[in-house]
Structure 1
Amino acid sequence: MIMSIDVPIVLVNMPVSAVERPSLALGLLKSALTQAGLQSTIVYANIWFLEYIGIADYGPLENCPPEEALVDWLFAGIAFPGFEREQNAFLDLYFERNPIRAGKGMAERRANFLKLRSLIGGFIDWTADKILEKRPAMVGCSSTFTQHVPSLALLRRLSERSPDLVTLMGGANCESVMGLSTHARFPWVDYVVSGEADALIGPLCWDILNRGRDIPPADLPFGVFGPTHREAGYPAASTRDLVPRAVIENMRDLPLPDFSDYFAEVEASLYADRIHAGLPMEFSRGCWWGERSHCMFCGLNGGSMTYRQKPAGQAAAEMIEMSARYGSSRIEAVDNIMAIDYLEKALPHLTALPEKLAIFFEVKANLKRQEVEKLAAAGVRWIQPGIESLDTRVLKLMRKGTTSAHNVLLLKWCRQYGVRVSWSLLWGFPGESDAWYAEMASWLPLLHHLQPGPAVRLRYQRYSPYHHTAEKHGLKLVPTAPYRYVYPLSERDLSDQVYYFEDSEDNDVGGHFTVRDAHRRPGLNAAAKGIDAWLKAWCAPTLSMLSMQDYGDEIIVEDTRAIAVEREHRVRGLEREILMAADEGSPETRLRERLGVAKVMQSEIEAAIADMIARKLIVRLDARLVGLALWHPYTPILPPTAFPGGYLERRSTPAAPPRK
């Protein structure tokens, strides 16, 4: 029997992170600590921050790309009080790198960012007061994306206010060398966990309660850096960067996360009526595709791509249990990729539910029509399939293992069954040709009845193949420029600390398409404009549609796209047969062979294909004929407010005073 101890451990979810869902990492750690007989509380300082600055100021911070380091800069004055680089220089760089956020009102935005930075000290003091009221023995922060400097700021203030308090950090920003750098450079952080802390957190916290900061290096778990390492030296490991990283091998026995503190916080929040919570859950770690072919730009999973999953039946049962426990049907699977066997073994349990859950999963993009239909029937209403591009040559550069034809077909099947898609068209890959984008731009208007994704510049992430084989691709990667205004570190130390990098040989800055890009790359300029037009069409009051019905000897197609040749098409005979074959993306050679056996002349086949292309009902991609029309009836698409990971209403109101 495990003894319980009534000494609170406070776990903190710092801004800026989504307020519409609890922290999965901290929920898992709280459950692990409970199993170990330790009492812990999760405080949602991200929700406090929303209340502190108001929703009008919160939105731009949440939506800012993390590599622009805006949130880190806001908190840097408190985290590093002796490091005060010229504040206007950071903002000059920010607006240069983000011209889409400049323009009208730039002076007002600049002044507002300076005002927000001046408020951070008050927020950190207020947060520290609320935490210290709980009289904790330990305080730990989980850090992902823009939470790192805010976490360092809070822990620094806590250690100054309460010197006996033990501080901890973990999370994605503490993976391997980033965690070691955090521990080595910022001495007010006592313990840093590199990797997966589920199994070690209980024994570690018990040991800290007994020995404080004096745990010998040999007694610390693999992947944990403690105060004694600063004098004795840091351990090495057989990882790519030679830094230890803790890993869980068996996910079956992990406890369900404890989200009770989150829902209590939301209920008491000034924005309770705007927060529609989702439940983050995980059923696997690593990536089974990445084990075979690591996508060139992907830096997820830190130093370990090894795929581990929960059994399919267990995954379905846990979704049902968590939904009942917290009264929410929204389930967001945070897995990098859905397990292969879940389609056949997990989904039937969910399909049988009388009231369906609303589920999000990341999936591989080469799903077939029947598989998308199964997902929809089971309540998977939103997916992120890693489409990334609509040109096969760019996809090969990425090592995505899919094609343009597959990606267009997936967008079609998702629109058919009402499954919403999160995707983006990435550009800026080493070795890509501008002509590829010009070719893509020529047929993008054909897709305006399908769900678009934004055009996004490639970002270089730590742990990605582009990062660890940069020279092979002609890249000279350095930390993204904004970090130099945030951290009081040398360039070498900064390279160990941050997650995002950029090519020092690239004269363009930031993640947006610029005027310089437009002049230098007309093909990419055309594709970017094509994406903008597609996004605009998708936001129109009435969505365009291309749908068809089969009446046996004739298919009637209705076309309301702006590019439509006719509002109604009546397709018979050979054209009908070609349109039916193209519905599944038939290889053109296979179709020609089949029709040739039926004594159809190749000239007739060519004329019929040309007719269907001219009517803009099919497109030729990757030596396949890809039909673009949906079958009527089709399932309506969900609004963005239905995202299974939760939703925060953005109605603009004056900032409310923070709760006491």
Structure 2
Amino acid sequence: MGFNTVKILLIVPPFGPIEFQSLGLHNLQALGRLNGFEVDILYANIHFASQIGEKYNSLCNMNYFLLGERIFARSAWGCSVDSLLNQEIYNYTTVYNRDENPVRFFPKTDEVKISRLIEYEKIAYNWIDSFVENFLESHYDIVGVTSSFEQTNAAVSILKKVKQKQPNVITIFGGFNCEGDGADGIKSLDPGNKFINYIFSGESELTFISFLNKIRVDGYYSNRIIYGKPLEDLDLIPNLDYSDYFDALDKFLPNKSRSNINLVMETSRGCWWGEKNQCKFCGTSERICYRVKSEERVLKELTSMKKWGVNYIHMADLIMPQRYKNGLLDKIINRNDAWKIYYEQKVSLSYNDLKLLKKAGITEIQPGIESLSSEILKKMSKGTDLKQNIKFLRDVTDIDINLYWNIVWGIPGEKITHYKEINRLIPLISHLIPPIGMFHMTLLKFSPYFKDPNQYGIYNIRPLDSYNKVFPEWVDRKKIGIIFSCDYDYETKEDDNEIKILLENINNWNNCWFRSFNRPRLHICRKGDGETILLDTRGVANLNIQTLISPEKIKLLINNDKFNNTELQLWALKYSYAILDGDNFIPLPTIEDELRIRYED
């Protein structure tokens, strides 16, 4: 028996970040409303953040320890799971088979105190009942949750309480944690179909509407796991209505500053690089096939976003569409909007490309730099090398775009000599933007390392030990897990002295770069009297801080070239104004824009 009308509530559980909207749920909301359904979104994460205060964001960022899952384990499973919040949480040997935390941010982030975590667990246990009771007063026919990374136990807690109070409500479960065989993992949470009625796996814009139509007519759907189909035409998604998000902020966090709120958009899905050659450690799901929105659609969405009074746009794309450089960005520039846009990029962008990005308001980017070793980059299948990465860092530093990049280590087959070379390099590039993080390679589901471990010498793959602490014994951890432990050979595993040196070097690099005065520089510029100088304050040799520089030397130090053992190249190498990587001659200075234009070939 069906329904005359179908009223749906979609919930964002803790520990989803509170500075971003749930793009997936708002896509479903927009299409649901377009097809005549009443669809609301409830930001449970914002409500819970109002209960525990300022440490909420720290818990969102610490997913390797599954703290978010631990905090809601008692609410979800009662006494049937070992969720004791004790010092074992931060046992790196248990989590990583290492004595030290291999995840470092710069500046360093503090661990949440155990006493605080115990307090948050109690708050979570008591919060669920009143939270669910409140929204059930609106009499929804369907209640759904999304789960990505550390939202599963909170989602389970919500759905269990819904079924306890209103057993006839249809419950649905979706999100990144349901991708691929993750759907079977979610199913194993509730093998008896007591609180998770249906599971959506993959892109669900099309299947969600089919599901709602079937429920409206018949009251049920034949398959418990509903596998999605890729949405080929992204232009079909209507403008998104973020009023539920901003209503939640106004209601639950009225004093929160809007300065760090981001409006989430997407202009493409998949990865055009990954279609050709996926990076080996990349955990992007099987939906890697690339699709792009039309320029006209993107411009309409940008116009619709103005109503929210926020200037920051976070593009959820895995990588910016290449073709936008030849049309869309110019159109955005001509509109003269005040957007500040974040986009993930590839380091193949030229200097002029980066200037265009900044003019279009793309002031924050995250490129796939990942390493300062050509050999390691090759092992990663990054499609780049040291000369490209250094050139990119020089150009971004010159143009002054906010850059977020990381160093990844612990790659199968890496050698200690790779890190000796990196450690020798870092003092020479202290004038360039440093990485914000240094991470040991993590084995992620869907990555090439995970899908074909034998090719890379990876063995003994098992779910992260933390999963044993947060889910009951009957749950299929291999399918529900996203992060895995494994064994493989790499020299820095047995001798990590160079890694410790690297960590110290990156920390010093950040300290020098972000201090308010006397930032290191290696910069070609003009003095007030018109003379052109090379300014070097890196402190790597007993050099004059200011050196007059000729046009021939300026030309030499603008672009990468092959090493030809010329007198000028030897001069640059002698004073560490350039380095060699194989037969590549790689200049290091940044350069004033007008000088670059004058002397660049």
What TM-score do the two structures reach when normalised by structure 1? 0.82
Q: Residue 334 of structure 1 aligns with which residue?
A: 316
Q: Hey, what does 1:27 align to over in structure 2?
A: 26
Q: Secondary structure at the match of 2:173?
A: strand
Q: 3-state SS of the aligned residue for 1:168?
A: strand
Alignment partner, residue 658 of structure 1: none
> Structure 1 pair 382/86, CA: closer, same or farther in 2 (3 Å)?
closer
Shift of 1:109: 1.6
Say if 2:375 is the partner of 1:393: yes
Letter in 2 for 1:265: A
| Distance in 1, Cα, partners of 2:388 & 2:473 | 45
Q: Is the counterpart of residue 625 in structure 1 residue 601 in structure 2?
A: no
1:491-506 superposed matches below 5 A: 493-504=476-487
Aligned partner (choices 146, 157, 160) of residue 161 of structure 2: 157
**Residue ranges of structure 1 left out of the alignment (5+ in a row):** 218-223, 227-243, 508-515, 590-601, 635-660
How many Å separate the matches in 1 of 2:125 and 2:489?
37
Q: 1:518 to 1:139 in 2, by over 3 A?
A: same
Q: CA 1:441/1:532 → structure 2, altered by over 3 Å: closer, same or farther?
A: same
Cα 1:630–1:185 shift into 2, 3 Å: same
Amino acid at match of 1:283: T
1-structure distance, mates of 2:430, 2:378:
25
Distance in 1 between the 2:47 and 2:584 partners? Answer: 53
Whole-angstrom distance in 2 between the partners of 1:580 and 1:461: 44
8 Å Cα contact 1:438-1:526 kept in structure 2:
no
Structure 2 residue aligned with 1:232: none
CA contact (8 A) 1:547 1:630 kept: yes
Which moves more between the two structures, 520-529 or 330-339?
A: 520-529
Aligned to 1:225: 225
Instruction: Please list, as runs of the form range in 1=range in 2, the aligned pairs for 1:450-465 lying within 5 A after superposition.
Output: 450-453=432-435, 454-465=437-448
> CA separation in 1, counterparts of 2:61 and 2:176?
19
Deviation at 1:399, TM superposition (A): 0.5
Code of the residue aligned with 2:428 in structure 1: it is L
Distance in 2 separating the partners of 1:106 and 1:467: 30
**1:558 maps to what in 2?**
535
Taking every aligned residue pair, what percent have the same amino acid on both sides? 25
Residues in 2 aligned to 1:558 and 1:167: alpha-carbon distance in whole angstroms: 64
Identify the residue that residue 653 of structure 1 maps to in structure 2: none
- 1:478 partner SS: strand
1:419–1:92: structure 2 CA closer, same or farther, 3 Å change rule?
Answer: closer
1:32 shift after superposition: 0.8
Aligned twin of 2:599: none
Pair 118,267 (structure 1): closer, same or farther in 2 beyond 3 Å: closer
Amino acid at match of 1:39: E
- Distance change (3 Å), C-alpha of 1:6 and 1:208: closer
Of residues 519, 523, 539, the one that matches 2:514 is 539
Give me the whole-angstrom Cα distance separating, in 1, the residues matched to 2:554 and 2:590: 12
Change (3 A) 1:325 1:200: farther
Alignment-derived partner of residue 294 in structure 1: 278
Give the 5 Å matches for 1:319-330.
319=302, 321-330=303-312
Q: Does 1:199 pair with 2:206?
A: yes
Tell me, in whole angstroms, the C-alpha distance in 2 between the residues paired with 1:121 and 1:195. Answer: 31
Given that 1:460 and 1:466 are in contact with CA atoms closer than 8 Å, whether structure 2 keeps it comes out as: yes
1:204-353 matched pairs, under 5 angstroms:
204-212=211-219, 214-217=220-223, 225=225, 244-276=227-259, 277-300=261-284, 302-319=285-302, 321-353=303-335
AA partner of residue 570 (structure 1): L
1:336 to 1:86, Cα distance in 2 relative to 1, 3 A:
closer
- SS in structure 1 opposite 2:172? strand
Distance between the aligned counterparts of 1:269 and 1:432, measured in 2?
Answer: 48
| Residue-pair matches, total | 574
Q: Is the 8 A contact 1:90 1:482 kept in 2?
A: no
Distance in 2 (alpha carbons) for counterparts of 1:252 and 1:342: 15
Q: Indicate the residue corresponding to 1:548 in structure 2.
A: 524
1:225 maps to amino acid: I
Secondary structure of the structure 2 residue equivalent to 1:200: helix
Note closer, same or farther for the CA distance 1:406–1:254 as it changes in structure 2 (3 Å cut): same
* Residues 93, 482 of structure 1: 8 Å contact kept: no
Question: What residue is the counterpart of 2:597 in the other structure?
Answer: none
Counterpart in the other structure of 2:496: 521
SS in 2 for 1:336: coil
User: Within the alignment, does 1:356 sit opposite 2:338 as a pair?
Assistant: yes
1:472 maps onto 2:448 in alignment: no
Q: Deviation of residue 504 (structure 1)? A: 4.8
Q: Kindly indicate whether the alpha-carbon contact (under 8 Å) linking 2:145 and 2:173 is maintained by their aligned counterparts in 1.
A: yes
**2: distance between equivalents of 1:322 and 1:506?**
52
Q: For the structure 1 residues 119 and 447, does the alpha-carbon distance in structure 2 shift closer, same or farther, using more than 3 Å as the test?
A: same
Aligned partner of 1:609: which letter? Q
Partner of 1:423: 405
8 Å CA contact retained: 1:366, 1:406: yes
1:6/1:38 contact within 8 Å kept = yes
What are the superposed Cα offsets for residues 30-63 of structure 1, whole Å, 9 maximum, x if unpaired? 10110110111111111111101111x3132122
Separation in 2, partners of 1:94, 1:75: 20
SS of residue in 1 equivalent to 2:467: helix
Which SS does the other structure have where 2:17 is aligned? coil
Kept in 2, the 8 Å contact 1:441–1:530? The answer is yes
- Paired with 1:316 and 1:444, the residues of 2 have a C-alpha distance of 41
Shift of 1:369: 0.8
Deviations 1:582-620 (A, max 9, x none): 31222224xxxxxxxxxxxx6xx24x3233233332222
Compute the displacement of 1:317 (Å): 3.5
Query: CA contact under 8 A between 2:18 and 2:45: conserved in structure 1?
Result: yes
The 8 Å contact of residues 168 and 192 in structure 1, kept in 2 or not, is answered as yes
Deviations 1:514-555 (A, max 9, x none): xx9697123323222221211221221223332212589963
Structure 2: which amino acid aligns with 1:323? Answer: M
> What's the CA shift for 1:422?
1.3
CA distance in 2 between counterparts of 1:566 and 1:108 reads 47
Matches of 2:413 and 2:120 in 1, distance apart? 41
Aligned match of 2:81 in 74, 81, 84?
Answer: 84
Cα displacement (A) at 1:489: 3.4
Distance 1:166 1:586, change over 3 A: same
TM-score by length of 2: 0.89
How far 1:272 moved relative to its partner? 3.6
Cα distance in 1 for partners of 2:199, 2:111 equals 40
Task: Return the match for 1:73 from 53, 70, 80.
Answer: 70
Q: Relative to 1, partners in 2 of residues 1:23 and 1:106: Cα closer, same or farther, differing over 3 Å? A: closer
3-state DSSP of counterpart to 1:176:
coil
The answer on whether the counterparts of 1:74 and 1:117 sit within 8 Å (CA) in structure 2 is: yes
Which residue pairs with 1:375 in the alignment?
Answer: 357
Q: Which amino acid aligns with 1:588?
A: F
Cα distance change, pair 538–40 in 1 and its aligned pair in 2 (3 A): same
Aligned residue in 1 for 2:505: 530
Deviation at 1:90, TM superposition (A): 7.2
More relative contact order, 1 or 2 (CA 8 Å, 6+ apart): 1
Match of 2:426 in 1: 444
Question: 431-440 or 89-98, which moves further after superposition?
Answer: 89-98
TM-superposed deviation, 1:355: 3.3
> Where does residue 571 of structure 1 map in the other structure?
549
Other-structure match for 1:236:
none
Task: Give me the whole-angstrom Cα distance separating, in 2, the residues matched to 1:398 and 1:106.
Answer: 30
- Aligned twin of 1:54: 53
After TM superposition, give the deviation of residue 387 of structure 1 in Å. Answer: 0.7
Alpha carbons 1:51, 1:271 under 8 Å: kept: no
| Aligned AA (1:44) | Y
Q: What does the per-residue CA deviation read over 1:317-353, in whole Å, with 9 as the maximum and x for residues that have no partner?
A: 422x133232222111111111110111110011112
